[in-house]
C-alpha cells in the first residue's frame, strides 16, 4: 500500500498548478499528513511559450472537440516534463488546466490526464478535484481555502484574517483560526471576488503585445474611469451572496467598458475594478479581517496593492510576510489536497463552495507496474 494512501503519517506530496493566467506550470513539494503542514520543499516553474499559450487560449470556453483535445495533450506533456526529476515523492496532486467553468450549467472542465501522468512518472496521481463538489451542488471552486486554513495554523495565527489570491481571477478565503478543523461551520468562508489579472493581461496583450502590466507601470500613469467602475460594480455578481465562483472570461465584456480609454487609463480602470471587487467581497466576512495576506502574481503589482490598501481598514501584505511563497501557494495547495483526497478527508464544505455536504472529491490513479 502506498504510504500516502495509508491512513496516517507525514508524506512528501508534489503539487502542480496551471492557472487561469496561462503563464505556466508551477510545481511544489509539501510535507504533510493531510491535516498539518510539516514543511515546504523544492519548487519548480515551467513557463508556457507563446505557441503553448495560443493552444490553451483556443481551448478557453470550449467543452469538447479538437481544441480541447489539443490543450489537454499539451497540458499533460507540460506536466510530465515539469513533474519529472523530483526525488522521493509519495503522491502527486495534479490540478490540470481549467478551460471552462459553469458550475450550475455544463459543469467545470480541467484538461490534462492524471492517469497518463501516474504511469509516466511511476507515482500515484490525484486529479479531477472539482467534479464531485459540483455533482453535490457546489461551485467546484475555490478549493485552496482548506490549505489556506492549514497555512494559518502553520504560521501560528490566531485572529480572523483573509487570504487573497490574485491570479487571473481573484479569490478570497476568510479564516477563523480559532477552529481546529477547516470543515467546522464558521471556520471558513470563500468565494471568487471577481476578475483579477486576466482582463489586464488580455488588454495589454491585444493593444501592446505585452504579457502583463509589469509592476503596474501603465496603471501608475493612468486614472480610474469612475463611470466604468460603477457599471462594473452594478454587475449582479457583486450583489450575489457567497458561495460564488467565476470562469476566467466571465467579465471579458469589461474590456468594452474601457475601449475608448487611453492605454494607461484603461489599465488603471481594470486594476481598480479588481481592487473594488475584492473590497466588496471583504464586506461578506463574518467579522472584519485582522489582515489581508495576498498570494498570486497580483501581489507583485504595487499599484493594485496600494488600491487594496486604501480600500480596506486592515493591513494588506504579501504572504511572504508570514514566511510563505506567494508564487507557489496554489501548487502546494494541490499537493496538500491530494493527501486529503487519498485519505478520505474533505477538501470543500458549504462555507467554501456551497456544496451540500463535506466532500473530498478526486480521482486517484495508481501506476501499473511494467
Ligand atoms: N511584477 C508583476 N507586475 C504586475 N503583474 C504581475 C507581476 N507578476 C505577475 N503578475 C500578474 O500575475 C499573473 C500570474 O499570476 P498567477 O500565476 O498567480 O496566476 P494563475 O495562478 O495562473 O491564476 P489563477 O490563480 O486565477 O488560476 C500574471 O499573468 C500577471 O498578470
Ligand atoms: C474553476 C477554476 O479553476 N477556478 C480557479 C480560478 O483561479 C482562481 C479562482 O478562479 C479559484 O476559484 C480557482 O483556483 C484556485 C486554485 C482554487 O480553486 O482555490
Q: What is the pLDDT of residues 351-361, one digit of tens each?
A: 999 999 999 99
Ligand nearest to the CA of 298: 1
156-322 belongs to CATH 3.30.420.40: yes
Q: What percent of the chain has pLDDT over 70?
A: 99
The pLDDT assigned to 4 comes to 67
Atom of ligand 2 nearest to the CA of 330: 16
Distance CA 82, CA 93 (A): 13
- Per-residue pLDDT tens digits for 333-357: 999 999 999 999 999 999 999 999 9
Decide: 244 and 237 in contact? Cβ < 8 Å: yes
Judge whether residue 268 has pLDDT over 70: yes
The pLDDT assigned to 254 comes to 81
- Per-residue pLDDT tens digits for 19-34: 999 999 999 999 999 9
Evaluate: CB of 19 within 6 angstroms of ligand 2.
yes
Would you state the torsion angle of the CA atoms of residues 55, 60, 66, 72, taken in this order, to the nearest 10 degrees? 70
The pLDDT assigned to 278 comes to 98
Decide: 79 and 49 in contact? Cβ < 8 Å: no
Judge whether residue 1 has pLDDT over 60: no
Outline which parts of the chain fall under CATH 3.30.420.40: 3-141+330-350+359-365, 156-322
19: annotated binding-site residue?
yes
Closest CA to 337 of 80, 109, 125: 125
The pLDDT assigned to 6 comes to 72
Domain 3-141+330-350+359-365, CATH among 3.30.420.40, 3.10.450.50, 3.10.100.10, 3.40.640.10: 3.30.420.40
The pLDDT assigned to 35 comes to 97
- Separation of CA 298 and ligand 1 centre (Å): 5
Residues 256-285, mean pLDDT to the nearest whole number: 97
Judge whether residue 364 has pLDDT over 70: yes
- Per-residue pLDDT tens digits for 100-136: 999 999 999 999 999 999 999 999 999 999 999 999 9
Q: Is the ipTM of this complex over 0.85?
A: yes
- Find the helix or strand (DSSP H, E) in which 214 lies: none
Ligand nearest to the CA of 56: 1
Higher pLDDT residue, 2 or 159?
159
- Separation of CA 96 and ligand 2 centre (Å): 11
- CA distances in angstroms from 229 to 19, 116, 133, 159, 175, listed in the order given: 26, 45, 33, 32, 29
Q: What is the pTM of this model?
A: 0.98
Residues 254-273, mean pLDDT to the nearest whole number: 96
Evaluate: CB of 141 within 6 angstroms of ligand 2.
yes
- Per-residue pLDDT tens digits for 154-203: 999 999 999 999 999 999 999 999 999 999 999 999 999 999 999 999 99
- Separation of CA 112 and ligand 1 centre (Å): 21
Judge whether residue 68 has pLDDT over 90: yes
pLDDT band at 252 (very low <50, low <70, confident <90, very high): confident
Residues 218-235, mean pLDDT to the nearest whole number: 97
- Per-residue pLDDT tens digits for 314-323: 999 999 999 9
Evaluate: CB of 114 within 6 angstroms of ligand 2.
no
Distance CA 256, CA 311 (A): 25
Q: Residue 343: what are its φ and ψ, rounded to 5°?
A: -105, 15
**Residue nearest to ligand 1 atom 12, measured at CA:** 297
Distance CA 178, CA 165 (A): 22
- Cell, residue 94: 495534479
Closest CA to 30 of 334, 347, 320: 334
Judge whether residue 229 has pLDDT over 60: yes
Amino acid at each position: 500500500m502506498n504510504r500516502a494512501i495509508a491512513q496516517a503519517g507525514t508524506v512528501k506530496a508534489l503539487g502542480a498548478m496551471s492557472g487561469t493566467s496561462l503563464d505556466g506550470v508551477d510545481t511544489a513539494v509539501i510535507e504533510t499528513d493531510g491535516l498539518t503542514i510539516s514543511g515546504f520543499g523544492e519548487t519548480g516553474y515551467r513557463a508556457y511559450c507563446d505557441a503553448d499559450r495560443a493552444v490553451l487560449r483556443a481551448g478557453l470556453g470550449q467543452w469538447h472537440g479538437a481544441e480541447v483535445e489539443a490543450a489537454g495533450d499539451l497540458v499533460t506533456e507540460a506536466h510530465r516534463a515539469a513533474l519529472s526529476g523530483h526525488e522521493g515523492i509519495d503522491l502527486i496532486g495534479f490540478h490540470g488546466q481549467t478551460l471552462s467553468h459553469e458550475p450550475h450549467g455544463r459543469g467545470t472542465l480541467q484538461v490534462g490526464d492524471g492517469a497518463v501522468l501516474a504511469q509516466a512518472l511511476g507515482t500515484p496521481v490525484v486529479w479531477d478535484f472539482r467534479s464531485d463538489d459540483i455533482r453535490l451542488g457546489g461551485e467546484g471552486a475555490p478549493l485552496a481555502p482548506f490549505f489556506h486554513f492549514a497555512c494559518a495554523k502553520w504560521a501560528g495565527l490566531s485572529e480572523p484574517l483573509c487570504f487573497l489570491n490574485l491570479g487571473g481571477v481573484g479569490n478570497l478565503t476568510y479564516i477563523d483560526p480559532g477552529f481546529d478543523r477547516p470543515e467546522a461551520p464558521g471556520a471558513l468562508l470563500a468565494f471568487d471576488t471577481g476578475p483579477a489579472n486576466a482582463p489586464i493581461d488580455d488588454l495589454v496583450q491585444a493593444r501592446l503585445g505585452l504579457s502583463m502590466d509589469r509592476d503596474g507601470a501603465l496603471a501608475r500613469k493612468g486614472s480610474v474611469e469612475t463611470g466604468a467602475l460603477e457599471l462594473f460594480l452594478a454587475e449582479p455578481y457583486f450583489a450575489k451572496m457567497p458561495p460564488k465562483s467565476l470562469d476566467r472570461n466571465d467579465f471579458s465584456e469589461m474590456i468594452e467598458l474601457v475601449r475608448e480609454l487611453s492605454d494607461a487609463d484603461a489599465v488603471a480602470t481594470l486594476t481598480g475594478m479588481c481592487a473594488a471587487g475584492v473590497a466588496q467581497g471583504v464586506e461578506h466576512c463574518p467579522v472584519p479581517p485582522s489582515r489581508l495576506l495576498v498570494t498570486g502574481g497580483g501581489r507583485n503589482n504595487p499599484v493594485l496593492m496600494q488600491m487594496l490598501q486604501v480600500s480596506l481598514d486592515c493591513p494588506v501584505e504579501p504572504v511572504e510576510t508570514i514566511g510563505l511563497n506567494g508564487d507557489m501557494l496554489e501548487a502546494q495547495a494541490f499537493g496538500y489536497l491530494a493527501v486529503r483526497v487519498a485519505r478520505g478527508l474533505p477538501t470543500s464544505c458549504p462555507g467554501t463552495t456551497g456544496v451540500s455536504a463535506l466532500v473530498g472529491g478526486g480521482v486517484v490513479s495508481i501506476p501499473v507496474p511494467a
